Structure 1
Amino acid sequence: MNGLISYVLLHAEGTRYYDYTAYTECKSCPEAPLYNGGILGENGGESEVTYYKSETGAYSPAFVLYNLTESTRYTFSCWVKVSGTESSAVVKAREVLCLTLLPIFSVLYFQSGDINTTVISIKSASLQPFSVDQWNQQQQDSIQQNRKRNAIVHVSDTEGNRISGATVSIQQLAKDFPFGSAIAKTILGNKPYQEWFVKRFNAAVFENELKWYATEPEPGQLNYTTPDEMLEFIRANQITVRGHNIFWEDPLYTPSWVRNLTGDALRAAVDARITSLLSRYKGDFVHWDVSNELLHFDFYEQRLGPNASLGFFDTARKIDPLATLFMNDFNVIETCDDVKSTVDNYIVRLKELNEGGGILEGIGLEGHFGKPNIPLMRAVLDKLATLQLPIWLTEIDISKTFDQQTQAEYLEEVLREGFSHPSVNGIMLWTALSPKGCYQMCLTDGDFNNLPAGNVVDKLLQEWETKETQGTTDDHGSYTFDGFLGEYKVSVSVENRSTEATFSLGRSDETEHLNIQLVPPTHLPTASAHSHPPARPIEFKKRLEKVRLEALLELIGISYEETVKELKRASNALDTEESERDAKFNIELFIKNGMPKLVLGTESTKAMWGTDEST
Structure 2
Amino acid sequence: MNRHTFINSRKATMMKFRTALIMTALFTLTASAARAGLPENYLKRWDDPAVQKRIDDGIEKNRKSNAMLTIVDAAGKPISGAEVKITQTSQDFLFGCNIFVLGQMKEKEQAYEDSFLKLFNFATAALYWDDLEPADGKTRFAEGSEFIWRRPPPDRVVAFGKKHGLTLKGHPLVWHNGAHNPKWMPRDPDVLYERYIRRFKEIAERYRDDIPIWDGVNESLVCSKDFPLYSGEDRTYQPYVPWAFKEEQKLFRPENLIMINDVTTFNWPSNEKNRYYQQCDRLLKNNIPIEGIGFQFHFFSRKSLDGFMNGDRCDPNTLLDTYEMFAKFGLPLWITEITIGSAGEDGLAIQERITRDIYRLWFSAPKMAGITWWNLGDGTAYGNEGQAGGGLADEDFNPKPAYKALDKLINHEWKTKLNLKSAADGLVKFRGFHGKYEIQVTAGGKTKTFDVNVSAGGPTQTTLKMP
TM-score range, shorter chain: 0.7 to 0.9
Secondary structure at the counterpart of residue 247 of structure 1: coil
- What's the counterpart of residue 569 of structure 1? none
In structure 2, what is the Cα distance between the partners aligned to 1:270 and 1:193? 34
- What's the counterpart of residue 313 of structure 1? 245
In structure 1, what is the Cα distance between the partners aligned to 2:162 and 2:211? 11
1:434 CA displacement? 6.7
Any residues of structure 2 matched to 1:24-63 within 5 Å, and which?
A: none
1:213 CA displacement? 0.9
1:171 CA displacement? 1.5
Match for residue 219 of structure 2 among 293, 310, 333: 293
State whether structure 2 residue 350 is matched by structure 1 residue 406: yes
1:222 CA displacement? 1.4
1:327 CA displacement? 1.2
- 1:374–1:413 CA contact under 8 A, matched in 2: no
State whether structure 2 residue 58 is matched by structure 1 residue 142: yes
In structure 1, what is the Cα distance between the partners aligned to 2:92 and 2:189? 46
**1:410-437 CA deviation, whole Å, 9 max, x = no partner?**
1122111100112211111112447556
Secondary structure at the counterpart of residue 412 of structure 1: helix
Match for residue 194 of structure 1 among 113, 122, 126: 113
Structure 1 letter corresponding to 2:123:
A
In structure 2, what is the Cα distance between the partners aligned to 1:307 and 1:433? 38
1:318 CA displacement? 0.5
State whether structure 2 residue 279 is matched by structure 1 residue 331: no
1:395 CA displacement? 0.6
Any residues of structure 2 matched to 1:118-157 within 5 Å, and which?
A: 132-157=48-73
Structure 2 letter corresponding to 1:346:
Y
In structure 1, what is the Cα distance between the partners aligned to 2:159 and 2:203? 17
- What's the counterpart of residue 443 of structure 1? 392
In structure 2, what is the Cα distance between the partners aligned to 1:343 and 1:431? 31
In structure 2, what is the Cα distance between the partners aligned to 1:448 and 1:163? 49
1:473 CA displacement? 2.1
In structure 2, what is the Cα distance between the partners aligned to 1:70 and 1:434? 26
1:482 CA displacement? 2.2
Any residues of structure 2 matched to 1:76-87 within 5 Å, and which?
A: none
1:407 CA displacement? 1.7
Structure 2 length-normalised TM: 0.76
1:505 CA displacement? 0.3
Structure 2 letter corresponding to 1:211:
Y
1:380 CA displacement? 1.1
Structure 2 letter corresponding to 1:431:
N
- What's the counterpart of residue 79 of structure 2? 163
CA gap 1:334/1:264 in 2 versus in 1, 3 angstroms:
closer
**1:92-123 CA deviation, whole Å, 9 max, x = no partner?**
xxxxxxxxxxxxxxxxxxxxxxxxxxxxxxxx
Any residues of structure 2 matched to 1:44-443 within 5 Å, and which?
A: 72-73=44-45, 132-187=48-103, 190-206=109-125, 209-225=126-142, 226-258=153-185, 261-298=187-224, 299-302=227-230, 306-321=238-253, 322-334=255-267, 344-369=274-299, 370=305, 371=308, 372-399=314-341, 403-433=347-377, 435-436=379-380, 439=385, 440=388, 441-443=390-392
- 2:323–2:366 CA contact under 8 A, matched in 1: no
Structure 2 letter corresponding to 1:353:
L
In structure 1, what is the Cα distance between the partners aligned to 2:456 and 2:420? 24
State whether structure 2 residue 461 is matched by structure 1 residue 516: no
- 1:333–1:377 CA contact under 8 A, matched in 2: no
CA gap 1:493/1:463 in 2 versus in 1, 3 angstroms:
closer
Residue ranges of structure 2 left out of the alignment (5+ in a row): 1-39, 143-152, 300-304, 309-313
1:203 CA displacement? 0.7
- 1:181–1:430 CA contact under 8 A, matched in 2: yes
**1:364-393 CA deviation, whole Å, 9 max, x = no partner?**
111114323322211211211111111111
Secondary structure at the counterpart of residue 274 of structure 2: helix
- 2:378–2:393 CA contact under 8 A, matched in 1: no
In structure 2, what is the Cα distance between the partners aligned to 1:272 and 1:511? 45
1:334 CA displacement? 4.6
Structure 2 letter corresponding to 1:330:
V
- 1:333–1:376 CA contact under 8 A, matched in 2: no
CA gap 1:467/1:361 in 2 versus in 1, 3 angstroms:
closer
In structure 1, what is the Cα distance between the partners aligned to 2:200 and 2:367? 30
Q: Which is worse superposed, 358-367 or 348-357? A: 348-357
- What's the counterpart of residue 475 of structure 1? 424
Secondary structure at the counterpart of residue 221 of structure 2: coil
Residue ranges of structure 1 left out of the alignment (5+ in a row): 1-67, 74-129, 520-615
Structure 1 letter corresponding to 2:352:
A
Structure 1 letter corresponding to 2:93:
F
In structure 2, what is the Cα distance between the partners aligned to 1:400 and 1:70? 17
Structure 2 letter corresponding to 1:365:
F
Any residues of structure 2 matched to 1:447-596 within 5 Å, and which?
A: 447-508=396-457, 510-519=458-467
- 2:116–2:376 CA contact under 8 A, matched in 1: no
- 1:152–1:479 CA contact under 8 A, matched in 2: yes
**1:307-344 CA deviation, whole Å, 9 max, x = no partner?**
2222211110000033212111112455559xxx9863
In structure 2, what is the Cα distance between the partners aligned to 1:343 and 1:234? 39
CA gap 1:195/1:219 in 2 versus in 1, 3 angstroms:
same
**1:516-539 CA deviation, whole Å, 9 max, x = no partner?**
2223xxxxxxxxxxxxxxxxxxxx
Structure 1 letter corresponding to 2:332:
P
Paired residues, what number? Answer: 389
- 2:438–2:449 CA contact under 8 A, matched in 1: yes
CA gap 1:144/1:353 in 2 versus in 1, 3 angstroms:
closer
Structure 1 length-normalised TM: 0.59
Structure 2 letter corresponding to 1:205:
T
CA gap 1:195/1:342 in 2 versus in 1, 3 angstroms:
farther
Structure 1 letter corresponding to 2:70:
H
Which of 1 and 2 has greater Rg?
1
1:131 CA displacement? 6.5
Higher helix share: 2
In structure 2, what is the Cα distance between the partners aligned to 1:144 and 1:327? 28
- 1:157–1:517 CA contact under 8 A, matched in 2: yes
Secondary structure at the counterpart of residue 405 of structure 1: helix
Higher strand share: 1
1:394 CA displacement? 0.5
- 2:268–2:322 CA contact under 8 A, matched in 1: no
**1:54-101 CA deviation, whole Å, 9 max, x = no partner?**
xxxxxxxxxxxxxx987554xxxxxxxxxxxxxxxxxxxxxxxxxxxx
In structure 2, what is the Cα distance between the partners aligned to 1:187 and 1:273? 25
In structure 2, what is the Cα distance between the partners aligned to 1:355 and 1:480? 42
In structure 2, what is the Cα distance between the partners aligned to 1:227 and 1:199? 22
- 1:333–1:367 CA contact under 8 A, matched in 2: no
Secondary structure at the counterpart of residue 185 of structure 1: coil
In structure 1, what is the Cα distance between the partners aligned to 2:210 and 2:228? 26
Identity over aligned residues, as a percent? 25
Structure 1 letter corresponding to 2:461:
H
- What's the counterpart of residue 147 of structure 2? none
Q: Which is worse superposed, 160-169 or 176-185? A: 160-169
